[in-house]
Structure 1
């Protein structure tokens, strides 16, 4: 997997030719392989390990979902994309067990370029091949929750509607309760509480609510016997979010930076969540390594399309020294964790504040 490469499987020659023309000049460093037969692609996997596999859903001799399931068995570390002209939700939900995400037909050049960029970022993360394969073989997480997918579809429309997003959240009373609890927490600094989800969406904006929906659902997935693990990690995330708010206020960062830092705090242990609930079998004998869990978390958040600043913050949360080019969100999360673990006291934090 040293050279970046992509498999593209579609039984329509015009689609393959269009993609070939689209990428031939702009991505010369990528090896590109085009197949009009699923069997040809599976045979090629015996000698080539692509970073990305894109398959059309409606293939003549094998459904694209079935093909990607076979790819997951042979090469679980590959980024798997389902290409479809079917915009129905059921189609997207059906595919999530096999594909990391859906690419709609017809697509623009920017769409496929974003896929290649994502693949490169994922490949550069310092995560072992063993862990990549484990992430690619999961059947529970990292499949995105259904309500989150539906809100994603709404946000991708030309004119996203607050009322539609609120209605989707309201369909699940448990989710509604968790979202309102988060919105009314002291993190976001509103002077009055609200029990109206439309008000909550308008206060925080669609993107932040979108993130909170995923957070609220993630920590309560998995087998019922393991829900206490999710509850414990959610409590830890909430406590860290409080600490992040203290750090952000001391540093007088902008509201957008503070909101991203809060989201980073609420997602900081998502890698630990996945490892403990879905991967590790003997936690009592082998507790989760927090540095490794941070990189696993960054891998998942990049896969799910989170803001790069959130991905970076989660990846570097445990670093003793941050890379020089890190964004303020990473600094806020890293400082908050050091405060929580006794690395700094409040007075030392104040001394670090510019003009403090």
Structure 2
């Protein structure tokens, strides 16, 4: 079997040597190469393909965001990671748009190894021939909506202010309505009422808004918004609920601002595969019994038996082809797998898996659990054990579904 090929880029020789030492144990599993600059990295990639590139952000002549922008243009199938210790908002936004995942410096060897292994595992899963066959058979493949492209281009410039983002969003009244509905949800965790697009954008974050635009655009173009017991509007409402619960969990877990936003985005998009399959295979769901519709395990098994892939896998594949964040892709792929909620590494993946299960709880129970949603908690899942109501909900989310 061919080894995964990974290219590491940093202008400091001691950093590259440090990476060699950190990942020494993987030398027989990965084919690793090291480049001292962005230009050198592009020259190496012109000679041979790589599965993944991991670049420092701050480098002379060509910084990490610029390098990954070129890699995204020339080699879109290569996974793109940024290693950085920066805190500048402009740099963060540029890097987020051009990379699959940001890793903070300093990054210990085990964390780095784990993140890269997980990304490669997801990539390998999405290369499954049955899944490729299903995606290859789609007659209607969603295209990136114009407003999503406009927001992405604006953020990619790195100099966009909130007013410019708001002006783009306000051109789509339906998007504004959905943003306000999500921001004002009973489970948004905010004590204030949002009445304008600008307020909702400031609260949810520009990248969450960008992906809400993506989903709204997809639904607006659907020919089959209702198939049997499945309704696109209900799926959107559910995704907003999951996104808000995931956001509250992320805040309580002490995630930083970027990770809270990544978690929210993953919640918003976790069911995008359902919309894609509804549009392409409406007969698949037309006469499906309600018990199967409401049981995640039964539904996924039914989809795999009939098609060869589940809606979670199809959604992850399409989002990966669009270059979305690795966290989002992984969360979409695993959102119906409760064992992921017990992941030793608390991440958007495990949080969305928990939120998906908790979203089926009645509103009264969630209101009780999240009544003091923004109270400070520690930064590990273990610290949530202090809140017995939330811990009980998490344990229920981890437990297997009845069959």
Unaligned runs of 5+ in 2: 5-39, 52-68, 81-99, 101-118, 293-298, 302-308, 370-376, 387-403
**Which residue in the other structure is 1:258 paired with?**
260
**What root-mean-square deviation, in Å, do the aligned CA atoms of Structure 1 and Structure 2 show?**
4.2
**Which residue in the other structure is 1:116 paired with?**
78
How far residue 274 of structure 1 moved from its aligned partner, in angstroms, is: 0.9
Tell me, in whole angstroms, the C-alpha distance in 2 between the residues paired with 1:205 and 1:243.
16
**Which residue in the other structure is 2:337 paired with?**
319
How far residue 238 of structure 1 moved from its aligned partner, in angstroms, is: 2.8
For residue 231 of structure 2, give the secondary structure of its aligned residue in structure 1.
helix
- 8 Å CA contact 1:127, 1:296 repeated in 2: no
1:307 equivalent among 297, 311, 325: 325
How far residue 22 of structure 1 moved from its aligned partner, in angstroms, is: 7.2
TM alignment of 1:8-23, pairs within 5 A: none
- 8 Å CA contact 1:154, 1:161 repeated in 2: no
**Which residue in the other structure is 1:172 paired with?**
172
How far residue 201 of structure 1 moved from its aligned partner, in angstroms, is: 2.5
- Per-residue CA deviation, residues 116-147 of structure 1 (Å, 9 max, x unaligned), is 23799675234643432443454644211111
Relative contact order (alpha carbons < 8 A, sep ≥ 6): 1 or 2 greater?
Answer: 2
Tell me, in whole angstroms, the C-alpha distance in 2 between the residues paired with 1:141 and 1:313.
21
**Which residue in the other structure is 1:294 paired with?**
312
TM alignment of 1:164-203, pairs within 5 A: 164-203=164-203
How far residue 332 of structure 1 moved from its aligned partner, in angstroms, is: 1.2
Aligned length: 266
- 8 Å CA contact 2:327, 2:348 repeated in 1: yes
Shift in alpha-carbon separation, 1:282–1:200, aligned structure 2, 3 A: closer
**Which residue in the other structure is 1:82 paired with?**
none
How far residue 148 of structure 1 moved from its aligned partner, in angstroms, is: 0.9
**Which residue in the other structure is 1:330 paired with?**
349
TM alignment of 1:56-205, pairs within 5 A: 108=70, 111-113=73-75, 115-117=77-79, 123-126=123-126, 128-136=128-136, 138=138, 140-205=140-205
TM-score w.r.t. structure 2 length?
0.53
Q: Does residue 30 of structure 1 match 2:49?
A: yes
- 8 Å CA contact 1:138, 1:278 repeated in 2: yes
TM-score w.r.t. structure 1 length?
0.59
How far residue 223 of structure 1 moved from its aligned partner, in angstroms, is: 0.9
**Which residue in the other structure is 1:275 paired with?**
277
How far residue 296 of structure 1 moved from its aligned partner, in angstroms, is: 1.7
How far residue 207 of structure 1 moved from its aligned partner, in angstroms, is: 1.8
Shift in alpha-carbon separation, 1:110–1:236, aligned structure 2, 3 A: closer
- 8 Å CA contact 2:274, 2:312 repeated in 1: yes
For residue 302 of structure 1, give the secondary structure of its aligned residue in structure 2.
helix
**Which residue in the other structure is 2:66 paired with?**
none
